[in-house]
Structure 1
Amino acid sequence: MKLVKLKIHPSGKDGWGSKDLVFASDITQLFGPNGAGKTPVIHSIAFALGYPVRYRDDIMAKCSSASLTVEHEEDVFTFERSFSDKFHIQVSERGSNETHIFYNEQEISEYLFSRLGLTPLALTTNKNEPTYPYISTFLPLFYIDQDAGYTSAYKPPGSFIKDQYAEMIRLGIGIAPKHSFEAKRFLIEKKKELDLVNIQIVNTEEFIRKLEEQSGVDNVSVEELEDELEQLRDELEELRNSFDATNDADYVLQRLIREKQNERLNLSASIKDLESRVSGFNKIKGEIEIEINTLSLNEESRRLFSSFKDICATPGCGLFTSSSDSYGKNLLYLRDQIKDLDRNARFQEIRVDEYSSSLKKLDEEIASLESNLTKEEGDSQTTSLIAAISALTRSIIDRQGKKEVMERTESEKRDYVQLLNRRRGLQGDISSFEGGAGSNDIRILEFRNSYRKKIIEWLDVLSTKNVSRDVNVDSDFNVQFGTEKLSQFSGSTLLRTVLALRAAFFELFISMGCASIEFLIFDTPRQHDIETKDFAAFIAKLKNICKDNRAQIVFSTTEYHYNAAEGDVEWQPEFSGFEQPMYLGVIDNNQLPSQTQ
């Protein structure tokens, strides 16, 4: 979800409001002195989405509502929330006459999560009761409040969900919850879904194999085939328009013969390679059969020894029990290997037959082309011209068909990769549901490792001193720096570390392709705790993230002024106030707030 536009509506003729405040594709900056009203404007972004915000009395009295327009996967929504003690949000969608009205945070949260493609499961409260995520529990990952947001990596208005921080990260990156209240039911559903995905994977593998066989043995790409097609079309057009068509036709026939001969060489080499594989399989199979015979002889010897009363005085003495068990396991293993070898050999023999048929067809085509090239002089001119045009047309049709097959193959391979990723995710979910903490989920381990690396990068960007780079991220995504926790830091060190944590998570979240939230909001960091050059380096790196991804940064400042570049916008306070310009004010036709780009 990306931010498009914000507007605050006045309450009555003398109320305070704003014109349309359009968000930049990259960075939106609010730059103004203390008391200019930056924070109410920033608050209104989260407020319009259902986030709980406490405004001062003058805002509640002078403003009637805040409307926020957002865009997600080409759908555009407008959220309008009243500045009132009663919860009231109205949502409209562009292109639809339907309007949704919500009277509590639970309803708007369910709606918003569903539209963002998130599927929250029932979680467990600190009192071991069922609950679901709210916008007020999820949005703090991307919204840093001025008052308490710079004291920790996650600062929600309330914490009532067990391991709430970890659960919100899991929700954002699409990993099963740690404390699902309905784990058993969802475990059954995930296992059924995994079975279906496994069937799809097997079917897709088989379909891709058949497509690859159909496309032939040429190791060419779709782009190379397109170039060949273009060349063939050009030659055909030149031949039709040529003044010396006979000589051109002979040249075309000779070139096509050379191409067919090269194709025949490649096909012959592939056949020899496949025959060599089949021979190798048969050789290995013979060696395994010798091993099976050896095992059988050993087993017969064991039985013979067991029959000697001097060696085994009592029935079932157990002297050769381990040998017998080992024989059975080895025999089963070797026979399974023979089955695999037989199956692979049959598959390769089928391919040899198919390639041999293609080779025979190629020989016929080459013979036909050579025959047309060596016709007697009396009828060679007309014949060679017709033969060249026919051969070019046939080559165009063959390559067009091969191109379509290869395009379908590439499409199926993309779908196959998606199925593999889906299976991997389901296996991780099942591991999480079965293991509780989900420590066996490889996605959790990968995220923790990447998060750790990103934190170190951002600490360096902010020139953070006196903080260990021996960073450890635990299974709940809590971070420890050497032997110290974040709660032990203060002042400039705390601010820089929190900024590093927030930016590291956002960069990783965006780079993973997560599109539920694509913005990060900073409400006036305490700039006296950080040098201007360090904060400038921080914003510069965020700008690079925005340029390389679908990401937005919104921040307000009092001292540091960012010079807007392409894709950026600056919102300035342009309403007349008692002591200084303000972001909100009485709107009239002679006073139109503007934006600097």
Structure 2
Amino acid sequence: MRLVRLQIFPRGERGWASEALTFGKDVTQLFGPNGCGKSPLIKAIMYCLGYPSKFRDDILENCRCAELEFEVECGRYIARRAFKEGVDIELADPDGATHEFSNELDYSKYIFGLLGLEMPILVSGDEKKAANPYLSTLLPIYYLDQEEGYRRFYSPAASFIKDQLSETIRIILGIPPKNAFNAKKRLIEAKRELELRDKHVYTLKKDYEAAKNVYGSVSREGIDLELQELYRRLEELKGGSADKTASTDAIDEIIGSNNELIRGLDRELGDISKRDRSFQKIHAEIQTEINTLSLNEEAKRVFASFEEICSSPGCQLFSFSTESYGKNLLYLKDQLKDLERNVEIGRMRAEQLIIRRDELVAQTKTLTERRNSLVNTSEIKILVEAITQITSKIFGLEQDKKALDTLEDLSNRYVAALTARDEAISQREELEKTGQGHPTIIKFRSMLRDNMLKWMDILDTNNVSSEIRFEGDFIPLLGNEKLSQLGGSTRLRVILAYHAALLECFRALNRNKISFIIFDTPKQHEMHGVDLERYVNALKVFSTATGTQIVISGTEYRYTGNERDIDWEPKFPGAKQKMFLKQGQ
């Protein structure tokens, strides 16, 4: 976009108007004393582009509308905006058709389309709703107004978008937004999904560990072998070939099997008890070490309080000791947590083993009593009892097999839940990184740093660090200093250097969609004229080479141009001095 012509039209016969003011190919200079009407003209340029410029009452009372002719790749457009509350813009296209706009969003969408810029749906400043960028969001990159433009790197009329400067430059560069609303919405959904999967993992983990505590040491192969033997014995008894001795032997085998299981449980309980005692001993030793560390740290504080030992307010004599203390204490407390967790796991396992042991002991006692009571009974009763006990044992083992199947199923579901949670974590992290670390940003910041240093040198900027880094993507830090820490001419020079550097970077990346920059009365009293002259001359060279227009207004410094430049000067008589606006047509 390049500027072609500006004109102000009067309100009524005695209203105020300007002549048709044509922009120069390179530099357009508004020069005149304070109060001659330079700023209303500058503001009118932005006003026609949708910027919410504020005008004094006399302009609103005496001027009807402003008309700006501008040029884009597809031709020339004429924007006419009424001086009134709200948005009332008529835009004539190259074909003569007129488009009317009553809100900033629709007008911005149309101009964005002309410029080939995307209009992403972004996140509002309070992060609660969607927000659309406007053309007025972009214009402060190319327009420095005399009130706020020289105080900050980016001075929009309103800040309503999260990371607004970053999003603005991303739009100009044509790269994905930092905080796309859809991505933000998906991030919220991803966090909610992760929370649900965390709960699912926690539930499955509890169920799995509880089942593992009961059946974790049970061998499927051992159960299969025992079942095979029991089914064989059962077939023998049912075949009628077994005598009284064989029947009692079958019961004895079940009793013996139970006793073997009880001994196995006793061994495991003994191992758990030994581990628990070892853990308790280690726990006590770690606690002693923690107490010793704490006493050493307390002693260090006492020593540090003696001025004879450490009199400096910023004394670092014991800094290494403090850092080491913190690391060691954290490590030891982590070890304690691990031990306590292992003790708790052992306790839960022991409780389940004791329950299982008590069941087997009771079952074995009952079997023994029944076996003894059958010694003097008939062979058929012993046979029936033997078959009953074997069948009961088989049923119990089959239940154990089903429990192992359940344990395996829980294990598979637990692993699947962990995998699903990992996927949810990856999804959340991916969405959190959306828009971060784009290659163009890395390249752009490097170029911006180099160009800023060049323009700061042109402006003879002293007393600031040349170590430039960025926060929030594109906000420069000079060493450890922020712009707010700079004052007077230094801040002014850094801001001017920043905006010139942005123009160069956009041009280098072929993203000069808006090919002008406007300086509304730079604070010339805060900077030597010779420095401002070097700056404008360097911009003139850039302008001639790239087609970027420079618009500058001033009261003291006056640029001397050539045939590619135009001076706008007040021509019409006023009460005290010549003015840019005349009364009537």
TM-score, length of structure 2 as denominator length: 0.57
SS in 2 for 1:118: coil
Mapping 1:198-277, distance limit 5 Å:
none
Q: Quick one: which of 533, 536, 541 aligns to 1:536?
A: 533
Instruction: Report the counterpart of residue 38 of structure 1 in structure 2.
Output: 38
- 2: distance between equivalents of 1:186 and 1:529? 49
Instruction: Report the counterpart of residue 144 of structure 1 in structure 2.
Output: 144
Tell me the CA shift for residue 141 of structure 1. Answer: 0.8
Q: Are residues 582 and 184 of structure 1, via their aligned partners in 2, closer, same or farther at CA, if it must alter by over 3 Å?
A: closer
Alpha-carbon contact 1:146-1:525 (below 8 Å) kept: yes
Q: Quick one: which of 565, 589, 593 aligns to 2:562?
A: 565
Tell me the CA shift for residue 16 of structure 1. Answer: 0.5
Q: Are residues 501 and 165 of structure 1, via their aligned partners in 2, closer, same or farther at CA, if it must alter by over 3 Å?
A: same
Instruction: Report the counterpart of residue 135 of structure 1 in structure 2.
Output: 135
Mapping 1:54-453, distance limit 5 Å:
54-96=54-96, 98-128=97-127, 129-183=129-183, 434=431, 436=433, 438-453=435-450
Tell me the CA shift for residue 457 of structure 1. Answer: 0.5
Tell me the CA shift for residue 131 of structure 1. Answer: 1.3
Tell me the CA shift for residue 440 of structure 1. Answer: 2.9
- 1: distance between equivalents of 2:507 and 2:470? 19
Alpha-carbon contact 2:26-2:540 (below 8 Å) kept: yes
Unaligned runs of 5+ in 1: 188-429, 589-597
Tell me the CA shift for residue 437 of structure 1. Answer: 5.2
- 2: distance between equivalents of 1:73 and 1:176? 24
Instruction: Report the counterpart of residue 452 of structure 2 in structure 1.
Output: 455
Tell me the CA shift for residue 434 of structure 1. Answer: 4.8
Alpha-carbon contact 2:89-2:102 (below 8 Å) kept: yes
Tell me the CA shift for residue 510 of structure 1. Answer: 2.2
Alpha-carbon contact 1:576-1:582 (below 8 Å) kept: yes
Q: Quick one: which of 482, 489, 495 aligns to 1:485?
A: 482
Alpha-carbon contact 1:176-1:433 (below 8 Å) kept: no
Alpha-carbon contact 1:574-1:583 (below 8 Å) kept: yes
Paired AA for residue 123 in structure 1: L
After superposition, the C-alpha distances for 1:537-564 in whole angstroms (9 at most, x for unaligned) are 0000100111110210101000001112
1:518 to 2:519 alignment: no
After superposition, the C-alpha distances for 1:271-330 in whole angstroms (9 at most, x for unaligned) are xxxxxxxxxxxxxxxxxxxxxxxxxxxxxxxxxxxxxxxxxxxxxxxxxxxxxxxxxxxx
Instruction: Report the counterpart of residue 468 of structure 1 in structure 2.
Output: 465
SS in 2 for 1:556: strand
Tell me the CA shift for residue 438 of structure 1. Answer: 3.2
Tell me the CA shift for residue 45 of structure 1. Answer: 0.2
- 1: distance between equivalents of 2:497 and 2:176? 26
SS in 2 for 1:465: coil
1:545 to 2:554 alignment: no
Q: Are residues 437 and 500 of structure 1, via their aligned partners in 2, closer, same or farther at CA, if it must alter by over 3 Å?
A: farther
Q: Quick one: which of 580, 587, 597 aligns to 2:577?
A: 580
Alpha-carbon contact 1:510-1:551 (below 8 Å) kept: no
Paired AA for residue 511 in structure 1: A
- 1: distance between equivalents of 2:453 and 2:167? 24
Instruction: Report the counterpart of residue 507 of structure 1 in structure 2.
Output: 504
- 2: distance between equivalents of 1:127 and 1:470? 33
Paired AA for residue 117 in structure 2: L
Displaced runs of 4 or more, over 6 A: 184-187
- 2: distance between equivalents of 1:518 and 1:564? 19
Q: Are residues 530 and 437 of structure 1, via their aligned partners in 2, closer, same or farther at CA, if it must alter by over 3 Å?
A: farther
- Please, which moves more after superposition, 121-130 or 42-51? 121-130
- 1: distance between equivalents of 2:147 and 2:185? 41
Tell me the CA shift for residue 152 of structure 1. Answer: 0.9
Q: Percent of counterpart pairs with the same letter?
A: 42
Paired AA for residue 577 in structure 1: G
SS in 2 for 1:151: coil
After superposition, the C-alpha distances for 1:191-210 in whole angstroms (9 at most, x for unaligned) are xxxxxxxxxxxxxxxxxxxx
SS in 1 for 2:582: coil
- 2: distance between equivalents of 1:502 and 1:91? 29
- 1: distance between equivalents of 2:155 and 2:511? 21
Instruction: Report the counterpart of residue 349 of structure 2 in structure 1.
Output: none
- 2: distance between equivalents of 1:433 and 1:560? 52
After superposition, the C-alpha distances for 1:28-48 in whole angstroms (9 at most, x for unaligned) are 000000000000000000001
Tell me the CA shift for residue 477 of structure 1. Answer: 0.5
Instruction: Report the counterpart of residue 247 of structure 1 in structure 2.
Output: none
Output the aligned Cα RMSD: 2.0
Alpha-carbon contact 1:34-1:558 (below 8 Å) kept: yes
Paired AA for residue 75 in structure 1: G
- 2: distance between equivalents of 1:444 and 1:123? 18
Unaligned runs of 5+ in 2: 188-426
